Each structure stands twice: as C-alpha cells, then as structure tokens.
Amino acid sequence: MTAKAIADKRTLVEYLEAKARRLRWDIIKMVGLARSGHPGGSLSAADIVTTLFFHEMKHKPENKNWPDRDRFVLSKGHAAPVLYAALAESGYFPREDLWTLRKIDSHLQGHPDMRKTPGVEISTGSLGMGFSTAVGMALGLRLDGRNSRVYTLIGDGESQEGIIWEAAMFAAQHKLDNLVGILDYNNMQIDGLVSEIVDIQPVVAKWPAFGWHVIEINGHKVEQILDALDEARSIKGKPTMIVANTIKGKCVSFMERVVDFHGKAPTDEEVDKALAEIEALGPLG
C-alpha cells in the first residue's frame, strides 16, 4: 500500500503516523549507534518529513534525477537523521546504511552531502543557505517551464540568520508560488530557548510582512499538515510558509523539551528506553 492509493483520510493519517514512528525509531537507533548527532530536532520534524516524502511530493527513488520530481531541501542540515530515515524508507538506499551514520567512509555524514547520498538535493549545514538555495531552485524550475514544487524545512534558531530574510524577500518579489517553506518551531536551539537568545516573534506576522502566505499549524498533527500542504497548492502569486509548532524530542519522554538533546546522543540504556516508548505508541510503518 502507498499513501497515494489511500482515499480515506483517516486511513491515510494512520498510515503516515505509523511511518513517522518508523522514522523516529530509526533516528534513535542510528544516533545511538553513532554516539553522536542531533536527535531532538530530527524527532520534532518527523511528522512533517513523513508527510512530504510519503504523500505530498512526487519523486522516484529508482530515478533520483527525474527532472519533474519535487525537491526537498533540509535547510536545518543538522537534522540529517530524519532525512536519512525518510530516504532509506523511500528506497533511495538500503536501510542498513542508516547504522553507519557519521562513521568514516559512510555516505551518511553529520550534514547532508549531495555528492555522496542518493536523494539529497543540496549539501546543507551552514544555516540559511539551504533555504536560499531552495528559492533559487524554485525560480530555476519556473524558468525551465516545469510544474515541480520545492519544499524546504527551516529551523527557528536558523531563522535568526539574515540570509533567511534576504531570500524571503527575493522569493516574494518573484512570486514563487511553487515554493513552500516549513518552519520547525520547537523554540529550542543549541544554547537554549530561541525566545531567550534572539526571539523570532512575532513570526506568524513577519512572513506576511515579507510577502508570503502563512499557515500556522500543530506540526505533530498529520491531518493539519495535510490540510496546510493542500492550501499551499491553492495559493497563486506568492510563496507559502507553514509555521509548524512542534516539540523538541517529540515521542521520547526524557527528550521532550530538553535542550541538551539538541546535539547529544542517547546512551545505550536511553536508546533502549526510547525505542520501547516509540514502539508502545503503535505499529511502525
């Protein structure tokens, strides 16, 4: 069964929720084995990335360079584990490769590398550069006459970068309605709360001021993510930003809203506990 073949929305939501649990399980295992990585922001983005890869986007793992594919850019590149989990589950490379995360000679490094990892559209890590590249991709696709869409996931700490707002102005100026940004708004960055370091509020008001259509959702409610993506498709003449309110470390009790797990791997004991908690939530897709 594939998500595109599911007509009933409730069944679709359940299918995607199970896939998201699979991605979260894989995130915990790969970061635990690597003893390094960024689990918190990977877990907060799992529902969003799942909905994009397994329902919204058109892409062909067997033909990763298909010209008419939709593009996904992980601008918050440190959350690479969630992207790797989605790519493996989609069939871009064997799932067993996930357990080589951050190892020497692995094609799965700490930040996405387009030269090594099948399915990665652009190498990211320097904050804001992925977002600006996504804007360029959207413009390029329009100039080529293609109806493909570009989806880019940005972080809230990343939104403190000036390059984000320069690119935002450019996208609005060129009316890039084939571009959808998604803000993973978990209010935590490596040094603490975003609201205490450099507050990005009023973020829902900022994006319309920069010429974007804005939708605010709960980033863990799959039905809301689906509805927001549908709405984004209907918007003409401007790009869309989906502000997704999320929880850092979502679905792992001792990681939720704990800033230390922004960039700290769990211990072996914590891995076992986390995996058990995720399994207890329901079947893995």
Distance CA 114, CA 120 (A): 5
Longest CA–CA separation in the chain, Å: 52
Q: Per-residue pLDDT tens, the chain, 285 aa: give them.
A: 457 667 789 999 999 999 999 999 999 999 999 999 999 999 999 999 999 999 999 999 999 999 999 999 999 999 999 999 999 999 999 999 999 999 999 999 999 999 999 999 999 999 999 999 999 999 999 999 999 999 999 999 999 999 999 999 999 999 999 999 999 999 999 999 999 999 999 999 999 999 999 999 999 999 999 999 999 999 999 999 999 999 999 999 999 999 999 999 999 999 999 999 999 999 999
Domain of 274, in residue numbers: 3-280
Q: Which amino acid, 184?
A: D
User: Does residue 47 belong to any structural domain of this protein?
Assistant: yes
Q: What is the CATH number of the domain that holds 196?
A: 3.40.50.970
The distance from CA 237 to its chain's CA centroid, rounded to whole angstroms, is 24
- Read off the pTM: 0.96
The distance from CA 236 to its chain's CA centroid, rounded to whole angstroms, is 23
User: Does residue 186 belong to any structural domain of this protein?
Assistant: yes
> CA of 235: how far to CAs of 148, 175, 178, 179, 183, in Å?
15, 10, 9, 10, 18
Paired with 179 in beta bridges are 150
User: Does residue 209 belong to any structural domain of this protein?
Assistant: yes
User: Does residue 175 belong to any structural domain of this protein?
Assistant: yes
276 three-state secondary structure: helix
Strand order in the sheet with 150-155: 71-74, 150-155, 179-185, 240-245, 213-218
Q: Are 228 and 219 in contact (CB under 8 A)?
A: no
User: Does residue 159 belong to any structural domain of this protein?
Assistant: yes
For the chain, how many structural domains are there in total? 1
Distance CA 1, CA 6 (A): 8
User: Does residue 285 belong to any structural domain of this protein?
Assistant: no
User: Does residue 254 belong to any structural domain of this protein?
Assistant: yes
pLDDT given for residue 7 in this prediction: 74
> CA of 260: how far to CAs of 189, 200, 255, in Å?
9, 21, 8
